[in-house]
């Protein structure tokens, strides 16, 4: 049965790769002469740094077709598969530490780094050799959970789970200054810090917008781009998150992803909750024998639990811990109010003051501005607050999940909800 499923999966993966690649090539615009719209002017300023999707996709699709042709995981025992992933991620962590050590040594003018460079290069080569197998194992583990949850077509998960662990492009986010809304996002090549600051400053000065260039953790191409990290729960969660985007592409919530800011927020919040739930199930099922992985799982969110979770009464004699999410929530609400009153300069000064407050308490953000909230406010917390502020989307999506009989039933409901009002109406009908 396992070998039969592997054959069917290979066929589905190949069909999906070709279908998604053709669709993506169709929807991604080519180079066009600069026009007078703000979006065109942004693209003009950033043209030398625009990320080349096509080149990445050609290599990724070729690699995945090769994996589909010869699956090396099919005869590995499950315990050996999980152990391989854990050992591989330990080497990824070591490689990232070596890279940091090397960068620090070079910035300090250190000499005689030949041995360190050789060690880094050898480890990087080993990680590169192992990555395709680690991808295949995690894909199969996520697919197994999705199959149990009922996300199948003719007995197989569709769309197939397909991901590449890789370096990701950065994301340029543009918001108007007088309100918080994701007006435009553009993927960019990695830039040095001074180039990032220069491009943001130029866009803001020339176009009177709020700009932010920020890292991302995943991108729902097919195969999806997933950041190469040592953190197993986050890695698995991101694979599941991006699969949710692939699934939603077949339904209105995916079709309308880029149409309005609120549809994008509903889509991303849905994918985030989905990824967290599936990721936890995968870790608890396949990595229960690895305490170094289990301890990385975040606490279960009380807003997603059907049974209220007990909370301890804080000791008034002890200093209250700093709550960064509460600070971001208060900041967003105050900024929304200031912008509604037309006080743009005051809102921007307040955001910078709050950024410094967060930094003083160990939470470092390079910039907090309208574009920051336009992007991070799209990944809303089940309990509300955070960068989403007073927006009810996060709690509403979580409420529907809490009342749904299954993960599949919830996603089948969410895939048709493309507006904030439709989401609130669905919540109003809850028992």
Digit-coded pLDDT (tens) for 56-72: 888 888 888 777 666 66
Least confident of 13-27, 39-53, 391-405: 13-27
Q: What is the pLDDT of residue 15?
A: 57
Burial of 296: CB neighbours in 10 Å, binned 0-12, 13-18, 19+: middle
Q: What is the pLDDT of residue 14?
A: 54
pLDDT band at 426 (very low <50, low <70, confident <90, very high): very high
**Residue 183: pLDDT above 80?**
yes
pLDDT digits (tens, 9 = 90+) for 88-128: 999 999 999 998 888 887 766 666 778 888 899 999 999 99
pLDDT band at 51 (very low <50, low <70, confident <90, very high): very high
Least confident of 289-298, 315-324, 359-368: 315-324
- Range 403-426 burial, b when 16+ CB lie within 10 A, else e: bbeebeebbeebbebbebeebeeb
Least confident of 93-97, 316-320, 348-352, 410-414: 316-320
User: Considering only CA atoms, which of 196, 235, 204, 205 is closest in space to residue 218?
Assistant: 235
Helix (H) or strand (E) holding 428: helix 420-428
Q: What is the pLDDT of residue 198?
A: 94
pLDDT band at 321 (very low <50, low <70, confident <90, very high): confident
User: Considering only CA atoms, which of 10, 21, 22 is closest in space to residue 65?
Assistant: 10
Q: Where are the alpha helices (DSSP H) in 208-260?
A: 232-248, 252-255
Q: What is the pLDDT of residue 33?
A: 38
Residues 244, 270: Cα–Cα separation, whole Å:
8
pLDDT digits (tens, 9 = 90+) for 133-158: 999 999 999 999 999 999 998 888 99
pLDDT digits (tens, 9 = 90+) for 341-387: 999 999 999 999 999 999 999 899 999 999 999 999 988 888 777 88
Q: Are 384 and 378 in contact (CB under 8 A)?
A: no
Q: What is the pLDDT of residue 381?
A: 81
Q: Where are the alpha helices (DSSP H) in 287-323?
A: 291-294
Count of CB atoms within 10 A of residue 305's CB?
A: 12
pLDDT band at 27 (very low <50, low <70, confident <90, very high): very low
Least confident of 16-25, 272-281, 366-375: 16-25
Mean pLDDT throughout 183-209?
93
Mean pLDDT throughout 236-264?
93
**Which residues partner with 219 through β-bridges?**
225
Q: What is the pLDDT of residue 11?
A: 54
**Residue 10: pLDDT above 70?**
no
| pTM for the full predicted model | 0.86
Describe the crossing of helices 261-286 and 407-414 by its angle, rounded to 10 degrees. Answer: 170
pLDDT band at 311 (very low <50, low <70, confident <90, very high): very low
Residues 40, 222: Cα–Cα separation, whole Å:
26
Residues 250, 252: Cα–Cα separation, whole Å:
7
Q: What is the pLDDT of residue 115?
A: 83
Q: What is the pLDDT of residue 61?
A: 86
Higher-confidence residue: 292 or 21?
292
């Amino acid at each position: 049965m396992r070998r039969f499923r592997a054959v069917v999966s290979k066929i589905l993966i190949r069909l999906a790769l070709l279908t998604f690649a053709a669709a993506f090539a169709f929807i991604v615009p080519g180079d066009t002469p600069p026009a007078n719209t703000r979006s065109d002017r942004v693209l003009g300023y950033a043209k030398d740094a625009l990320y080349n999707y096509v080149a990445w996709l050609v290599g990724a699709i070729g690699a995945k077709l090769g994996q589909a042709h010869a699956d090396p995981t099919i005869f590995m025992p499950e315990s050996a598969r999980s152990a391989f992933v854990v050992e591989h991620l330990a080497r990824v962590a070591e490689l990232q530490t070596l890279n940091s050590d090397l960068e620090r040594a070079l910035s300090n003018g250190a000499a005689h780094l030949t041995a360190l460079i050789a060690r880094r290069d050898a480890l990087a080569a080993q990680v590169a050799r192992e990555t395709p197998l680690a991808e295949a194992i995690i894909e199969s583990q996520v697919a197994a959970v999705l199959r149990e949850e009922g996300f199948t077509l003719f007995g197989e998960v569709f769309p197939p789970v397909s991901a590449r662990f890789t370096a990701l492009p950065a994301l340029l986010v543009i918001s108007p200054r007088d309100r918080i809304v994701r007006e435009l996002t553009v993927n960019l090549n990695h830039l040095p810090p001074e180039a990032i600051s220069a491009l943001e400053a130029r866009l803001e000065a020339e176009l009177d917008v709020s700009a932010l260039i920020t890292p991302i953790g995943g991108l729902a191409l097919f195969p999806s781009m997933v950041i190469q990290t040592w953190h197993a729960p986050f890695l698995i969660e991101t694979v599941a998150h991006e699969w949710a985007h692939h699934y939603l592409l077949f339904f209105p919530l995916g079709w309308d992803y880029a149409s309005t800011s609120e549809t994008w927020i509903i889509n991303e919040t849905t994918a985030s909750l989905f990824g967290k739930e599936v990721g936890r199930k995968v870790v608890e099922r396949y990595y229960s024998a690895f305490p170094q992985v289990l301890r990385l799982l975040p606490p279960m969110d009380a807003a997603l639990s059907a049974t209220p979770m007990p909370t301890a009464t804080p000791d008034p004699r002890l200093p209250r811990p700093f709550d960064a999410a509460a600070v971001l929530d208060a900041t967003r609400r105050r900024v929304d109010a200031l912008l509604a009153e037309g006080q743009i300069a005051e809102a921007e000064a307040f955001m910078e003051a709050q950024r410094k407050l967060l930094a003083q308490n160990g939470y470092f953000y390079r910039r907090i501005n309208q574009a920051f909230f336009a992007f991070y406010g799209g990944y809303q917390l089940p309990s509300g607050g955070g960068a989403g502020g007073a927006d009810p989307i996060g709690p509403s999506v979580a409420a529907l999940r809490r009342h749904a009989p299954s993960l599949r039933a919830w996603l089948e409901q969410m895939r048709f909800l493309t507006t904030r009002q439709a989401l609130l109406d669905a919540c109003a009908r809850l028992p």
